[in-house]
Structure 1
Amino acid sequence: MADTQTVTVGDLARALDARSWGDTSLRVTGAAEPSATEPVGTDGGTIAMAMAPKYADTLKPGSMAILAEGMDPEAYGLKAAIFAPRPRLLMAGLTKAFDPGPEIAPGIHPTAVIDSTAHIGPNAAIGPFVVIGADVKVGANARIASHVSIGRGSSLGDDIVLHPGSRIAHGVHAGNRLILQPGASIGGDGFSFVTPEESGIEEIRRTLGSREDIREQHYTRIHSLGGVEIGNDVEVGANATIDRGTIRATRIGSGTKIDNLVQVGHNTIVGDDCLLCGLVGIAGSTKIGNRVVLAGQVGVSDNIEIGDDVIAGGASKIFTRVPAGRVILGHPAVKMETQMEIQKAMRRLPRFAQQLAKLQETVTRLLEKTEKDT
């Protein structure tokens, strides 16, 4: 697409593969909500995202907007419009066109510390106080913001964007177009500890809850010798963490998107094109298939397998294997339709309790009457 400072309605429509209407020569300087746009001036203006009538009602005459197919731009007094056959997909293209990304000057900032054995690809932009360790490889067109660190022997592909304060430990290997949001941490040690004797945790797993002899226990670290392997087009949210493996690598498949404050435990394998939403926690050695969606606050136990195309609703707790294609919900997670029936039954419990109390009263009266009659 042309530079966003000179892009026109026509340019934008062609880039988004969408139909346009009106004066397509008008300059677009950015995007805004319908109520925040103004009539287009001589220098152009912002384009409103008004892809439903309830949003379009606040448009100002003389402005320009993105509308859903079937909406009438003349009815809103617009000068120009772009029609979105799939509004959210078009919004993705529009926001990408106007997102400048982090402000990082081209070249390497003088305060950056880069080991002499590191290889930095062409057209890099590396900000202040970045630290890049020995034998690191960074591909072309990297954008690395301030206070990022990359550990020894890690390799990253082309077109990466590392936001301020993100951390990559040693032995991490990632593909092209990796995005790390601020504070993301890749390759920290796994949470692995062992006791000299059987631990209380091991005991209750074996006995399903009973304790025989409670005594002092001291934990010894199991060191993490594996790394982290990340595919292409992966994004990791702010303050999310991916632990390195114990022996083999923790793996994240291509196209997977990880939200803020997600924890991926050691040795976990996550497939391609998964969505892990905010506050998801995945315990170690779990295998997750392709195109899996874990909604916010989902918890996954260790050493289980989740099949392809599973969708887990918010706050679900997954303790056992989930077959491919299943939609689950609840604590513990079960089929969504089963969980809905459980919820309906729970809402009926107060009424059932009242009915049971009345039934008990009736039975008591009948027994008392029977005793008197006999």
Structure 2
Amino acid sequence: MTDFSLNEIAAALGAQVQGDAELRVRGASEPAAADASQLALAMDPKYSDGLAKGHAKAAILWDGADWKSLGLEAAIFVPRPRYAMSGLTSLMDPGPEIVPGVHAMAVVHESARIGEGAAIAPFVTIGRDVVIGPGARIASHVSIAEGAQIGAQALILQGARIGARVRIGDRFIAQPGCVVGSDGFSFVTPEKSGVENVRKSLGDQGDAAQQSWTRIHSLGAVTIGNDVEIGANSCIDRGTIRDTSIGNGTKLDNLVHIGHNVQVGEDCLLCGQVGIAGSSRIGNRVVMAGQCGVNDNIFVGDDVIAGGASKIFTNAPAGRVLLGYPAVKMESHIEMQKALRRLPRFMAAAKGDK
């Protein structure tokens, strides 16, 4: 494990050091569990008691903390603790061990082009005409299908699947088991189905005949911008004709599903178990908490924030904050829930009047 001086850590965080700036640490820890070689993370006064229980010589502290009275030899002060965590973890995370070069047990098509400095682990399969950018790291058991293009400095972890003709930008991160470019879930019946009738009538299946589903094949692919991250076991379906697309800087959590033809904008944050149905468009900087669902063929505007388990059935204008099933303005949902909780008292009072 690499060790770091407090000066090196402060420089990476754009922070200030007080005390022994040359003191070296080998990792980070919660204050109460820290040993003498670790940097304690006590960025809020509520963690001060933990410092007395642990053995850290140095800590990251909140602004204004008296580091000497806390028994420390040195301290780093950061103005925005959670943002500092991003810099600290980036500095200390060594990343996966993938030996540079192409491992002898990888299967790489002769027409594939592998960029300078790339690292290809054993049991990786790379298909015809694939392009892998410089500095990319591909862990074991990854498959990359024919015609796919992956940019520079990509990190594709164990068991990920990249489908045919998928195009991915620079600094892409794929967590284990994710699938980019699976076939879209699109089926049709020879005559109108009960589903089509229900969509039109909002409840009546009509006289739809019993019939089997026929697949509509996906001729499109998936296009992904720069600095995109895809979580473990997430799936992005390729488009029917046009590509499904994910904009620059967007991050997908684990178990997220993006349906065929969906367009997701830039710098979006889609948390675990979010599902976006086919042909919907998601604007820029949209945040969807866990288990949010988006109906097909609708538009969610820029800067929308949707609370956990919200179900968005209609177009959402830019900047709207949503909650509920169906999703409404968050303040409206809260008032509705207050009214619902009062309902038993109202009913009891109404019965008492009779």
In the alignment, structure 1 residue 147 sits paired with structure 2 residue 147: no
Counterparts of 2:322 and 2:3 in 1: how far apart (Å)? 48
TM-score w.r.t. length of structure 1: 0.92
* Corresponding residue of 1:342: 336
Counterparts of 1:186 and 1:331 in 2: how far apart (Å)? 29
In the alignment, structure 1 residue 54 sits paired with structure 2 residue 46: yes
Number of equivalences: 352
One-letter identity of the residue aligned with 2:22: S
Stretch moving more, 311-320 or 51-60: 51-60
* Corresponding residue of 1:20: 17
* Pair 1:32–1:61, CA change in 2 (3 A): closer
In the alignment, structure 1 residue 276 sits paired with structure 2 residue 276: no
State the percentage of identical aligned residues: 59
| 1:86-125 alignment runs, 5 A limit | 86-125=80-119
SS in 2 for 1:93: helix
Counterparts of 1:263 and 1:149 in 2: how far apart (Å)? 20
Q: Select the residue among 51, 69, 73 that pairs with 1:75.
A: 69
Stretch moving more, 71-80 or 156-165: 71-80
Superposed CA offset, 1:25-76 (max 9, x none): 111211111122123xxxxx21111111222311135521111112221121
SS in 2 for 1:204: helix
In the alignment, structure 1 residue 37 sits paired with structure 2 residue 34: yes
One-letter identity of the residue aligned with 1:110: A
Q: 2:133 touches 2:153 (CA, 8 Å); kept in 1?
A: yes
Superposed CA offset, 1:173-222 (max 9, x none): 01000000000100000000000000110011112211332531201100
5+ residue gaps, structure 1, are 40-44, 362-374
Q: 1:61 touches 1:76 (CA, 8 Å); kept in 2?
A: no
* Corresponding residue of 1:298: 292
Superposed CA offset, 1:281-323 (max 9, x none): 0000000000000110000000000000000000000000000
One-letter identity of the residue aligned with 2:15: A
* Corresponding residue of 1:319: 313
Q: 1:316 touches 1:332 (CA, 8 Å); kept in 2?
A: yes
| 1:198-237 alignment runs, 5 A limit | 198-237=192-231
Q: 1:224 touches 1:245 (CA, 8 Å); kept in 2?
A: yes
Q: Select the residue among 157, 164, 183 that pairs with 2:158.
A: 164
Q: Select the residue among 164, 179, 187 that pairs with 2:181.
A: 187
* Pair 1:259–1:62, CA change in 2 (3 A): closer
Counterparts of 2:80 and 2:335 in 1: how far apart (Å)? 34
One-letter identity of the residue aligned with 1:185: V
Counterparts of 1:72 and 1:167 in 2: how far apart (Å)? 51
CA RMSD of the aligned region, Å?
1.0
SS in 2 for 1:73: coil
Counterparts of 1:61 and 1:81 in 2: how far apart (Å)? 14
Q: 2:195 touches 2:205 (CA, 8 Å); kept in 1?
A: no
Structure 1 residue 10 displacement after superposition: 0.7
Q: 1:37 touches 1:63 (CA, 8 Å); kept in 2?
A: no
Structure 1 residue 123 displacement after superposition: 0.8
* Pair 1:62–1:130, CA change in 2 (3 A): closer
Counterparts of 1:105 and 1:28 in 2: how far apart (Å)? 27
Q: Select the residue among 245, 256, 273 that pairs with 1:251.
A: 245
Q: 1:61 touches 1:78 (CA, 8 Å); kept in 2?
A: no
Q: 2:287 touches 2:304 (CA, 8 Å); kept in 1?
A: yes
SS in 2 for 1:260: coil
One-letter identity of the residue aligned with 2:110: S
One-letter identity of the residue aligned with 2:41: M
Structure 1 residue 356 displacement after superposition: 1.1
Q: 1:61 touches 1:77 (CA, 8 Å); kept in 2?
A: no
Larger radius of gyration: 1
Counterparts of 1:37 and 1:212 in 2: how far apart (Å)? 67
SS in 1 for 2:239: coil
SS in 2 for 1:177: coil
Counterparts of 2:48 and 2:211 in 1: how far apart (Å)? 64
* Corresponding residue of 1:238: 232
Counterparts of 1:210 and 1:151 in 2: how far apart (Å)? 43
Q: 2:291 touches 2:308 (CA, 8 Å); kept in 1?
A: yes
TM-score w.r.t. length of structure 2: 0.98
